Amino acid sequence: MTQTTLRAQLQGQKTDTDLLMLMEDIATACQMIADRVRHGAFAGVLGTANTENIQGETQKELDVISDEIFQQIVGANPTVAALVSEEVDEVNWRKQSPQAGDFVVYYDPLDGSSNLDVNLSVGTIFSIVRLDAATAPDAAAVQIKGTQQIAAGYAIYGPSTGLVITVGQGVDGFTHHPGSGEFLLTQPAMNIPPQTQEFAINTSRYDLWEAPVRKYIDDCLRGASGPRAKKFNMRWCASMVADVHRILIRGGVFLYPKDSGNAAQGGKLRLMYEANPMGMLVEQAGGASSTGRGRIMEVDPTGHHQRVPVILGSRDEVAVIEEYYRD
């Protein structure tokens, strides 16, 4: 069996050198984060950091450590103009005079961090935009729509460390090979089946949901004798990375809708660190991504910590949910 490295796969896709080197730096940062995550309880870093991020979440020590690793490795790349992180209030400008061709990297350094103390899968999500003109280094300069992403991906820290990426030519999955230290191609051209019988949502928020979401889940739960005339299975990892990874492997639909508990913020998940990159990956794998009322990647950002409703996965199922919203 021939083994394809991350670099060989990106070169085969004619990825330009700057982007290829940025992807390699991100892969390095993710390996270092994986290492810190794996030391777990021995390193004494599973607890909370006694600080809050701008979104009002209590930070875990590993949220902060992962953010620092990403800043050190990816921030040192000479083509990176700015880093924009879930865990950092302000945009971290690495260049005072950003030029056309420079990159902005948006990232969630540790996704699913509430799962750390129970030893379940967590991950790192990233999104890459290339500036098309010189710009002033201010917050407005990074409020760029998801349709402008040139690459996106995530690392998953599970039983093995995986890296799933797109540079706009489909989605490829790699597995970290501990012996060689390389990410090797293990899931080329990932493809989400258009139909599914599996949904992922935190049903403890049922009372808070809007009517279309409640009706959709009610209909799924009624199974073969209900209006959908098929039985559905349910999964919820509370790590978006793990839930989306499962959907990229075997299909399904993921919902974190706006509800009366998060409406003031516009939803729970973050547009730039979670929704846009996962939206790009899912669409590149043949799925769909929506707020319920439109395509996620077409949302016009109003701030880099902005939140949005997220519905994504198997495209026929996303279409059914959008239909419920229209009715």
Q: Which DSSP string do the residues of 255-277 spell out, in sequence order? A: EE--BTTTGGGT-SEEIIIIIHH
* Residue 63 beta carbon to Mn ion: minimum distance, rounded to whole angstroms: 6
Q: What is the CA radius of gyration of the chain?
A: 19
Query: Among residue numbers 109 through 168, which ones bind ligand AHG (CB under 6 A)?
Result: 111-114
Residue nearest to ligand AHG (CB): 240
Binding residues for ligand AHG restricted to 51-80, rule: CB under 6 A: 57
Distance CA 194, CA 136 (A): 42
Output the CA torsion 129→132→137→143 (10° steps).
-50
Stretch that binds ligand AHG, among 95-103, 104-112, 183-191, 288-296 (CB under 6 A): 104-112
The partner in contact with residue 239, picked from Mn ion, ligand AHG, none with C-beta cut-offs of 5 to 8 angstroms by kind, is ligand AHG
- In terms of DSSP bridges, do strands 172-177 and 310-313 run parallel, antiparallel, or are they unpaired? unpaired
The 247-286 site mask, x for binding ligand AHG (CB under 6 A), equals ---------x------------------------------
What single letter denotes the amino acid at residue 259? D
Q: Which of 25, 61, 102, 108 binds Mn ion (CB under 5 A)?
A: 108
The reply to whether 317 sits near ligand AHG by the rule CB under 6 A is no
Q: How far is the CB of 111 from ligand AHG (least distance, A)?
A: 4
What is the Cα 7 distance to its own chain's centre?
Answer: 22
Asked whether 83 and 74 are in contact (CB, 8 A), the reply is yes
Report DSSP letters for 69-131, one per residue: HHHHHHTTSTTEEEEEETT-SS-EES-SS--TT-EEEEEEEEETGGGGGGT--EEEEEEEEE-
Task: Tell me which of 48, 143, 186, 202 binds ligand AHG, using CB under 6 A.
Answer: 202
The nearer residue to Mn ion, 24 or 57, going by C-beta atoms, is 57
Q: Which stretch binds Mn ion (CB under 5 A): 5-13, 80-88, 245-253, 299-307?
A: 80-88
Residue 111 near Mn ion by CB under 5 A: yes
Residue 13 in tokens? 């896709």
Residues at the annotated binding site for substrate? 111-114, 202, 268
